Amino acid sequence: MAATVAARGAPKASLKHRLAERGIDRLLLLLLPGVLALVLLFVYPFLYGLRLSFQPQQGTGIWANYRTFFTDGYLRDTIWITFKLALPAALVNLLASVPIA
């Protein structure tokens, strides 16, 4: 009986104290908008595209899209064209940004 009276009489801890008990401070909560933006703008579209890539159009199996992509000569050439365009652009960006940093 005395324990229930003491529990009822004790003031409720503030949100700040309850979060601190769990190891969360106000500065950590400042990360929440950035993490939410990262998830919404980058992680979700990536996972959605990855899920779509495993759904074949013809219903021939889970790896059908990948098998088609890597066996078709035209599609395989697009990979090399992409690398030929992306590699010099990445190197120019790297060479320009490192001295500035």
pLDDT tens string 61-100: 889 888 888 889 998 899 899 999 999 999 999 999 999 9
What is d(CA 10, CA 79) in angstroms, rounded to the nearest whole number? 67
Closest of 25, 24, 21 to residue 12, by C-alpha: 21
Q: Are 56 and 64 in contact (CB under 8 A)?
A: yes
pTM, entire model: 0.55
Q: Measured at the alpha carbon of residue 44, what is the angle toward residues 84 and 33, in degrees to the nearest 5?
A: 110
Q: Residues 30-63: pLDDT tens digits? A: 888 999 999 999 999 999 999 998 988 776 888 9
Give the pLDDT score at 89. Answer: 96
